[in-house]
Amino acid sequence: MHDEKITDKYDYVKKRVPDPQVKDVADQFFDAAKILWAKPPGSGVVIPAIVNSVLAIELYLKSLTAYSVIKDLKDYGRGVLGGTVTATPRKRVHKLTEIFSVLEEPIKNEFENKYKESSLFKSNSRFEDCLSSYNEVFVKVRYVFEDSSAFKDVNINELEQLMTLTKNAVESLPTKEIMLK
């Protein structure tokens, strides 16, 4: 289990679902994407809108698996310990389905339920199937000048809806906090 590996590495480890540091950054990319999507066609911001959207989705998912850690835990005397709290993801990847795969089953089920209730739903498909369409987009679209074929896999209306669905699913989950070490 990953919890044991992370507690071996750090002296302070807390699991918060969603992790507020990671979710805050996801919210910022979400807000930036919404501003970009609102621009009129021909504004020259499609690539940043796509990148911000996929990154928001990635970070919302990572907010559900990240650990709050102190890498530089110091003893300040009189029983006071402290340091800089940072978040470390369980998976250091951009592939959305790989991040989704390590979520707890009840959380995955919540995403599947939200997906089934959404306009994105296609019969005989799952939320994870929808995510898989965007697994490579974050990396490939940033370098579209090298290979423009990445655009053929991007349905911008679906992507914007997927980003919103992901945010809503994360915000609908009950918050959970566990001190691991």
pLDDT at residue 150 in the model: 72
Between 97-101, 134-138, 159-163, the lowest mean confidence (pLDDT) is in 134-138
Count of CB atoms situated within 10 Å of the CB of 129: 12
* Range 99-124 average pLDDT: 94
pTM: 0.90
* Range 152-169 average pLDDT: 93
| Contact between 61 and 40 (Cβ < 8 Å) | no
pLDDT tens, residue by residue, 32-82: 999 999 999 899 999 999 999 999 999 999 999 999 898 888 888 888 888
| Contact between 69 and 13 (Cβ < 8 Å) | yes
Looking only at the bridges linking them, the beta strands covering 74-75 and 81-82 are antiparallel
